[in-house]
Every structure is written in structure tokens, then in C-alpha cells.
């Protein structure tokens, strides 16, 4: 998961479905708004991968995010 001041981004489940929630108005992450913000979802996904690379995440974790499989 990736948190910003405005967003909660979560690639979840066995298919790594990309979910996006408005942190300020939906702090309980109940309403997925990813379909309304595809460019933002792509940007946050790339930021998550970059952060995981920077902290030395295992290659299989990165591969799962890149190809949509479960880690």
C-alpha cells in the first residue's frame, strides 16, 4: 500500500487489483475511485515500485506488482 496526504493506493488480492481511495473523505477506504483516476493510479503504482526497489524488496515482490500475479 502507498499512502499520500490525499490518497490511499492499494494493489490487492491475487490479481493485484489496483484500488484507490480518497484519504481525506474516505479514511476507512470503503469506496474505490480508481476507475475515475487512471493516470493517478498509474503514477502511484510506479511510485510504489520505485520505493520498493529503493528499500531492497525481494525481486518476486516487484515482479508480482509488474505482472499482476500474487507475491
| pTM: predicted TM-score of the whole model, two decimal places | 0.83
| Maximum pairwise Cα distance, the chain | 35
Report the pLDDT value the prediction gives residue 14, as an integer from 0 to 100: 62
Model pLDDT for residues 12-54, shown as the tens digit of each residue:
866 678 999 999 999 999 999 999 999 999 999 999 999 999 9
Angle between helix axes 59-67 and 38-54 (nearest 10 degrees) is 170
Contact 52, 62 (CB under 8 A): yes
Please state which CATH number belongs to domain 2-67: 3.30.1120.10
Domain residue spans of the chain: 2-67
Amino acid at each position: 500500500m502507498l499512502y499520500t496526504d490525499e490518497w490511499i493506493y492499494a494493489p490487492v488480492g491475487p490479481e493485484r487489483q489496483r484500488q484507490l481511495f480518497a484519504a481525506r473523505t474516505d479514511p476507512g477506504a470503503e469506496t474505490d475511485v480508481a476507475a475515475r483516476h487512471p493516470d493517478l493510479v498509474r503514477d502511484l503504482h510506479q511510485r510504489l515500485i520505485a520505493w520498493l526497489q529503493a528499500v531492497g524488496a525481494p525481486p518476486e515482490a516487484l515482479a508480482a506488482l509488474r505482472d499482476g500475479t500474487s507475491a
